[in-house]
């Protein structure tokens, strides 16, 4: 099969979205039950870089993708050098001297990369995230790897026709002493949010959801990666880079907004917690993600083997096996097939045996009841149940 180019991977219509929710699936959480406080603080650039290096400020850039290009990052750095104001950044205080970035990741990582003199290669972000799983900062030996990073020199347009920008092509080390000092002492306003009560971080998802108001809003899965990080998620991210899964998705490069990871999460959530499903899908996946944080090692190994066996059962399927009639990868089709194929093996702590019969998959996709349940009100309880029921009735493994 022919996989798409990295540029195509940025298209927002890569995956079939849920459509026509019946209104019972409000994705927001009631926040009036939480006691929250916020306080302003001003940190200069040098202090921020030190915070990131020491792990005081935890930027999920190592957990979710850095999506700015070098031109946009360069404009931010230029603004800071010349003294233009920079939007405030929100931090969530998990515990004393440990902060998680809620809003402002792209700005902070741009500053960090500029000071380090290196800029990440977009096509390597998924692999880089796995390699940095246990790191609070990026070690110099990783920063110096040309397969992951390139030199960060400011990429700026001309100020006036025929007159180059004086900062164009400069890096942190080649700034003159005056401008480098100005950059180092520039302060950025930070708003620190802390949950006073009840105990725990239960409000964190909704805080992320409401406050990630920067230039590029986070998807629900990006927020989950920050709030529900776990070894189970590590397993999903390893799978997300495997050739077998990338071939099923039809995209060589993992989705920058993690929609492909959400599809894998959705399959497991429906497999394990089907009986408790109620709209909204966002809340359902959040609840399962919270539950998955407590999975023991033996459970994780069993789920990993199950997923591996499912991918093998898909060998030989055409590139559009999980595509809808609209020509896009359908999470609804995938979750239905995944649950139907894995249900019995999961209940018996086993793995999928055999190959998915292509003719039965085609019959399922052509089935009037199944197709109707994938085209409107796709997250309603009735349609989710209908899809899973029809998949179990029609799908055959050889």
Q: What is the pLDDT of residue 8?
A: 38
Distant-in-sequence, close-in-space partners of 96: CB < 8 Å, separation ≥ 6: none
- Burial class (CB within 10 angstroms; exposed 0-12, middle 13-18, buried 19+) of 194: middle
> What is the DSSP track for 135-163?
-SS--HHHHT-TTTEEE-------SBTTB
Distant-in-sequence, close-in-space partners of 105: CB < 8 Å, separation ≥ 6: 59, 60, 61, 64, 66, 214
Distant-in-sequence, close-in-space partners of 108: CB < 8 Å, separation ≥ 6: 48, 52, 57, 59, 61, 89, 101
241-251 pLDDT tens trace: 999 999 999 98
Q: Which helix (H) or strand (E) holds 81?
A: helix 70-82
Q: What is the pLDDT of residue 9?
A: 39
Q: CB–CB of 175/183 below 8 Å? A: yes
SS3 for 205-253, per residue? Answer: HHHHHHHCCCCCCCCHHHHHHHHCCCHHHHHHHHHHCCHHHHHHHCECC
Task: Compute the Cα dihedral for 285, 289, 295, 299 and give only its sign.
Answer: positive
76-125 pLDDT tens trace: 999 999 999 898 998 888 877 788 888 888 899 999 999 999 998 887 77
Whether pTM exceeds 0.85: no
Residues 82, 242: Cα–Cα separation, whole Å: 45
Q: What is the pLDDT of residue 4?
A: 40
Q: What is the pLDDT of residue 378?
A: 94
Q: What is the pLDDT of residue 12?
A: 54
Report, as ranges of residue numbers, the positions in the chain whose pLDDT lies below 50: 1-11, 22-24, 61-63, 214
Q: CB–CB of 130/240 below 8 Å? A: no
Q: How far is CA 305 from CA 220, 233, 299, 349, in A?
A: 27, 15, 10, 10
């Amino acid at each position: 099969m022919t996989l798409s180019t990295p540029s195509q991977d940025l298209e927002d219509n890569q995956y079939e979205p849920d459509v026509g929710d019946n209104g019972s699936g409000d994705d927001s959480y009631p926040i009036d039950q939480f006691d929250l406080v916020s306080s302003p603080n001003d940190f200069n650039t040098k202090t921020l870089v030190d915070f990131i290096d020491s792990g005081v400020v935890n930027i999920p850039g190592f957990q979710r993708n850095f999506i700015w290009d070098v031109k946009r990052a360069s404009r931010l750095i230029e603004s800071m050098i010349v003294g233009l104001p920079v939007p405030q950044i929100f931090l969530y205080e998990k515990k004393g001297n440990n902060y998680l970035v809620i809003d402002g990741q792209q700005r902070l990582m741009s500053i960090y990369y500029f000071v380090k003199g290196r800029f990440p290669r977009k096509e390597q972000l998924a692999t880089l995230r796995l390699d940095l799983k246990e790191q609070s900062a990026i070690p110099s030996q990783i920063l110096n790897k040309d397969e992951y990073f390139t030199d960060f020199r400011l990429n700026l347009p001309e100020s006036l026709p025929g007159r180059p920008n004086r900062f164009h092509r400069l890096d942190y080390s080649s700034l003159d002493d005056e401008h480098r000092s100005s950059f180092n002492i520039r302060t950025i306003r930070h708003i620190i949010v802390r949950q006073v009560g009840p105990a725990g971080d239960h409000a964190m998802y909704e805080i992320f959801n409401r406050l990630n108001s920067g230039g590029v809003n986070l998807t629900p899965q990006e927020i989950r990666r920050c709030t529900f990080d776990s070894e189970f998620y590590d397993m999903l991210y390893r799978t997300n880079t495997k050739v077998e899964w990338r071939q099923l998705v039809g995209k060589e490069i993992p989705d920058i907004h993690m929609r492909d990871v959400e599809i894998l999460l959705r399959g497991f959530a429906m497999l394990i917690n089907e009986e408790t499903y109620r709209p909204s899908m966002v809340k359902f996946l959040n609840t399962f993600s919270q539950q998955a944080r407590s999975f023991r090692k033996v459970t994780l190994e069993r789920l990993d083997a199950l997923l591996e066996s499912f991918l093998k059962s898909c060998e030989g399927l055409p590139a559009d096996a999980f595509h809808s009639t609209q020509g896009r990868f359908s999470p609804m089709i995938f979750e239905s097939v995944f649950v139907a194929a894995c249900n019995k093996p999961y209940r018996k702590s086993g793995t999928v045996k055999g190959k998915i019969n292509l003719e039965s998959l085609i019959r399922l996709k052509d089935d009037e009841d199944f197709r109707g349940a994938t085209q409107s009100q796709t997250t309603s309880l009735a349609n989710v149940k209908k899809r899973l029921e029809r998949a179990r009735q029609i799908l055959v493994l050889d």
